Amino acid sequence: MRWGRALLIIVIGLIALIVLALALAPSLLNLEQIKEQVVNRVEQQLNRDVELGQVRLEFFNGLGAGLDRLTIANPPGWQSPYFIKVDTLSVKVALRPLLSRKIEVSKIILNNGEIVIERDAQGRFNYDDLTAAPADATSTSETAKPPPSDTPGTDGTPAGSPSLAGFLVSKLALNDIDVKFIDQMIVAGQTVTTAARHVNLEGDNIGFNTPITLDFSGALLTDGEANVRLSGRVGPVPGPANADWQQIPLQLTLKATALQLASIVPYLGAQPALTAGEIGADIAIQGTLGHALNIKGQLALDQAVMPDASGQGQPAALPAVSLTQDITVNLANALLTITNAQAGLGALQTTLAGTVQQFDTPSPQLDLNLNTSNVAIADVINQWPMLAAALPDTMEAKGNITIQAAFKGSPTRLHVTSQLDAQPLAMRLSDGTELALAKVQYAQDATLDTDQSLVKLDQANLDVGFLQVSAAGIIANFDSTPQLALQVETSNFDPAAVLTQLPMLADALPQPAELQGDLRIHATLQGTPDNLNTDARITAQALALKSGSFHGGAAAQGGMRIDVTQMQTQLKAQLNAPNPPAVDVDLNAERFVFDQQAAPAPAPASGNAPTPSSDAPASTVPPINVNGNMAVAAGSITGIHFQNLKAAFSILNGRVKSQQTVQVFGGTYQGDLTANLAQTKPDYQLALKLADLQAGDMANTLTSAPNILIGLLNTDLKFRGKGTGWNDISTTLTGTGKLNLTNFKLTTLDVMPKLAKGLSAAGTIAGFTVPDDLSTRSFDKLKANIRVKDGKIHSDDLKLWGPDVQLLGKGLIGLDRSLAFDGTAVLLGKLAKSLGKRAKFLLDQEGRINIPLAIEGTVTQPRIALNENHFVDLAQRALTQQVKDKAGKEVKKLLDQVLPGAKSDDKSGDSPEPLKELDKAIKGLFNRK
């Protein structure tokens, strides 16, 4: 340090002046004159004010001189008035070498003094004037110059030149000296003072070409007693002419205790990592500066305090830290060899070994190996607050962890291989979910290029026992906005192990649960975290899930079943902040089965609690846009079997669009759906076409009334509504469309038997006979235009027909299965004529028989009511016809009898009386006798 050079200049100057005083001593002149000459010469040399109390000649224990109350002042403008102040300075010289013009100081002793080093706000030191330039040789007194020599110096300097080769101090002692550093620069606007108190130094044989023995002690960075001791040997130090400082041998021991870190916190930066602590050291240094310098020993940090990073919380106490090292420094070759460095970081023990080459350049070459002990994760987290702060407050981690790492290359281009093992690993998440992994192993092989801000990940492998994940690629601009180009791939893994190792997933399913199959994922990531493109492929040869009631559980708990074979899913996602993520999905599978049994809703609470609404909960749409396609060869959804399912779908800002085609119930379904899921009660529109669906199978599957319907169904329907709750559907659903059923049969609709019965009653009166097969006649086709409104399906032109029979109606079917139709049963063609001539009065102009009727009740229990007034009218018409036919015959017969010329069949020959004959005719007309 430059202040050390300044001190050395001062000491040598003082010694020279004391020698001068000794040279003048034989004259026994006034010592005050000697004092005056000493002060003047020192002031000239240093350009500083010098105060000296007294100059003494000393004869005991050797020839020498002493200076009392020596003060060397500071230039104006510094806080301390003096630079050096000592009570006594004593110098002893050897007499015989002095007579040979050779300075050999036997002893230098400084007692009870203080050295004050200052730095101002601009970074200037109070000794800069002493080290700026060497003193002018002409200013030195001739008496202070060593006498000329006629022989070459022992250090090889030319004869007659001044030389320090012969300078030797047999013993140097500093007793109870304080060193103070006053700094006005490190903290703006403040003065920071650091002191070393009670410094004691003993040095033997201080000079060239001889080993120097040192013993230093003092109180450094502490308010207590002496806590630092440095002892050992330096040298021999080569002479100035052939000085090779790299060849200087060192053998030193440093011991320090309780060095208070708080005293140097201002020098640790604006936001220091530590604000308090005690540092200890026990180090041995042996070797040469330029070759192998071996450093062994221990460093310790205790009672360390780390401030809260936010500046708002309480500081945290750190565990004790220790470092034991065996290192060798080769300054000539700039080589650092770490034979063994062990660090105890609380519960965590680490070992470092290897080499650092070219450490004197900006790009040292590292070849290091790092290993840690097997340590409990909980202990590390508890002891190191920065790790705990990175985890949620209620999160817990258990298990042991070890780390191995190797570093090769320069800090600007460093190749790192590492491995982390945690066996086992158990975590309790903030929501109480427990995660248990029997094995966690992570290994990586990467190159870090700080010049290019680039990480090349040659290979990274994560093994958690049931799942292996590998990654490779590049991370560019890692120090600003990372640019990713990575590939990630998993092994084939059994999803059953996922449920076992990740209980929170299993808990989301009704229990008991069984999952079988295999999955594999391959993905690429391109871009920045805010603008990231991901392309992933998920494959599953087989995947089967049974849970809850589908796996032996209670029906009251519900259940789920999923079965997938030969599934391939392609996912392409784009993150472009602040816009919602965009995802493209392409799913293909040979078979997909999904079934679910919902747990029954809980019973309403007793009392006056309101009845829960049947409406669906408010819709919540994740902030994501999706486009995709799905193709499944075969499968079933909630018991509905299908083939060749194809669907295209999209979600954009919460608005869903989907087109679907599927073969189902022996026919084809084609649908087009739009819905706004961003609304609490979504608006939706649905257009669907059904072609040749087996209506019986559909009714048996979708309704609780089996075998009520048979036929092939064709539709073209369009609906719109708002909300998916039952109340919403019943009040907002509207639509129009066409229905067409062929090979139709509605087993609950017994229109023809009731019609046959009614006509038979009329036939009894009218004298016609109803065909025996009339009651078994059926309708085999249905056609209607419908409209949906207010929870009801309306039709004004419902038509059912079969061979020679029709049913025409107008009315509605409620979404609650209620029926309300008014219609007409129509007998056509041969069937109408088969009732005979006596029923011709029933025929309309087109030769049809129309029977009004009404259908009420429900779809499963319809009630058919024939129009009674119509049948009364039929009876009246039948009676009238009978009267008309019979009256005509009787009147004709009567006229034949009563009119002149009529023939008589009376065997008596008497002519009948007219009134009697008319009376008989009328009685015959009404079958009266």
pLDDT on residue 139: 41
Q: Is the pLDDT reported for residue 507 higher than 70?
A: no
**CA R_g for the chain:** 57
Highest-confidence range of 511-515, 643-647, 779-783, 822-826, by mean pLDDT?
643-647
Q: Report how far residue 570's alpha carbon sits from residue 540's, in angstroms, rounded to the nearest whole number.
A: 12
> Which helix (H) or strand (E) segment is 920 a member of?
helix 914-925
- Quick: pLDDT tens for 153-200: 444 343 433 444 556 778 889 999 999 999 999 988 899 999 999 999
State phi, psi for 779 to the nearest 5 degrees: -95, 130
Residues 6+ apart with CB under 8 A from 497: 465, 466, 467
- Per DSSP, the three-state class of 502 is coil
DSSP-H helix ranges across 816-862: 829-833
Q: Is 235 helix (H, G, I), strand (E, B) or coil?
A: coil
| Residue-level pLDDT at 175 | 92
173 or 130: which carries more pLDDT confidence? 173
Residue 16 pLDDT class (50, 70, 90 cuts): low
**317: pLDDT strictly greater than 70:** yes
Token pair listed for 461: 């492998």
Q: In this predicted structure, what is the pLDDT of residue 288? A: 85
Per-residue pLDDT band for 137 (boundaries 50, 70, 90) equals very low
Strand partners, 535: 524, 572
pLDDT of residue 559: 84
pLDDT at 885: 63
Cβ-contact 447, 439 below 8 angstroms:
no
Q: Tell me, what's the pLDDT at 774?
A: 83
DSSP string of 639-661, one letter each residue: TEEEEEEEEEEEEETTEEEEEEE
Q: Are 495 and 520 in contact (CB under 8 A)?
A: no
pLDDT digits (tens, 9 = 90+) for 723-776: 888 788 888 999 999 999 898 787 777 788 888 888 887 777 777 888 888 888
- By the 8 A CB rule, do 882 and 890 touch? no
Kindly give, in sequence order, each residue whose CB lies less than 8 Å from that of residue 104, ignoring residues fewer than 6 positions away: 93, 94, 97, 98, 166, 168, 170
Place of tokens 């680039």: 454
Classify 61 in phi/psi space as left (phi over 0), alpha (psi -120 to 50) or beta. Answer: left
Q: What number is the average pLDDT over the span 818-825?
A: 89
Q: How confident is the model at residue 375 (pLDDT cuts 50, 70, 90)?
A: confident
Arithmetic mean of pLDDT, 505-511 = 70
* CB 404 within 8 Å of CB 417: no
Q: Is the pLDDT of residue 496 over 60?
A: yes
pLDDT higher for 258 or 135? 258
Task: Please write the tens of the pLDDT for every residue from 406-436.
Answer: 999 998 899 999 999 987 777 776 666 667 7
Chain centroid to Cα 780, Å, comes to 62
List the structure tokens of 376: 């409990």
For every residue of 479-497, DSSP letters joined together read TSS-EEEEEEEE--B-HHH
Name residue 769's amino acid. Answer: T
DSSP codes of every residue in 754-818 = HHHHHHHHHHHHHT----GGGGG----EEEEEEEEETTEEEEEEEEEEETTEEEEEEEEEETTSE
pTM, two decimal places: 0.65
Q: Higher model confidence: residue 788 or residue 436?
A: 788
Q: Computed from CA positions of residues 472, 477, 480, 485, in that sequence, does the dihedral angle turn out positive or negative?
A: negative
At residue 379 the predicted structure's pLDDT band, cuts being 50, 70 and 90, is confident
Q: Could you tell me the pLDDT band of residue 205, with boundaries at 50, 70 and 90? A: confident
Residue 152: the pLDDT is 41
State the Cα–Cα distance between residues 180 and 197, nearest whole angstrom. 8
At residue 921, what is the residue type? A
pLDDT at 778 over 50: yes
Neighbours of 741 (CB within 10 A): 23
Greater confidence (549 vs 121) lies with 121
Q: What 3-state DSSP class applies to 41?
A: helix
Residue among 799, 807, 798 at smallest CA distance from 777: 807
Residue 786: band (very low, low, confident or very high) from pLDDT cuts 50, 70, 90: very high
**What's the CA gap between 452 and 471, in Å, rounded?**
21
pLDDT at 449 over 50: yes
Q: Is 308 within 8 Å of 314 (Cβ atoms)?
A: yes
For 289-378, list the strands marked E by DSSP.
293-306, 316-317, 321-330, 335-345, 348-357, 365-372, 375-376
Quote the Cα angle for 916-918-922, to 5°: 120
In this prediction, what percent of the chain has a pLDDT beyond 90? 29
CA neighbor of 493 nearest in space, from 465, 513, 514: 465
Note the pLDDT tens digit of each residue in 669-725. Answer: 999 999 998 888 889 999 999 999 988 888 888 777 677 778 899 999 999 999 888
Residues in the chain: 929
User: What are the C-alpha distances in Å from 565 to residues 517, 544, 545, 666, 851?
Assistant: 9, 9, 12, 23, 57
Residue 886's pLDDT is what?
62
The mean of the pLDDT values for the chain is 80
Which residue in the block uniquely carries the two structure tokens 């006229």? 895
Distance CA 789, CA 812 (A): 10
**What is the band of 255 on the pLDDT scale with cuts at 50, 70, 90?**
very high
Residue 181: the pLDDT is 92
Q: Specify the higher pLDDT residue, 156 or 921.
A: 921
Give 860-918 pLDDT, tens digit per residue: 788 888 776 776 776 666 666 666 666 555 555 655 554 444 444 454 444 445 445 44
CA–CA gap between residue 683 and residue 678 (Å, rounded): 9
pLDDT beyond 80 at 18: no
| 141, pLDDT greater than 60 | no
pLDDT of amino acid 920: 54
Cα 276 to Cα 301: distance, rounded to the nearest angstrom: 10
Q: Give the whole-angstrom CA distance, residue 609 versus residue 330.
A: 86
Q: Specify the range with the lowest mean pLDDT, choosing from 75-79, 94-98, 413-417.
A: 94-98
- From 233, 263, 235, 266, select the one nearest 249 (Cα to Cα): 235
Per cent of the chain over pLDDT 70 is: 78
Mean pLDDT computed over 35-41: 79
677 Cβ contact list (under 8 Å, min separation 6): 619, 621, 651, 654, 655, 656
| Residue 878 CB neighbour total at 10 angstroms | 21
| Cα–Cα distance for residue pair 125/78, rounded to 1 Å | 9
Res. 550 pLDDT band, cuts 50 70 90: confident
CA distance 88 to 107: 13
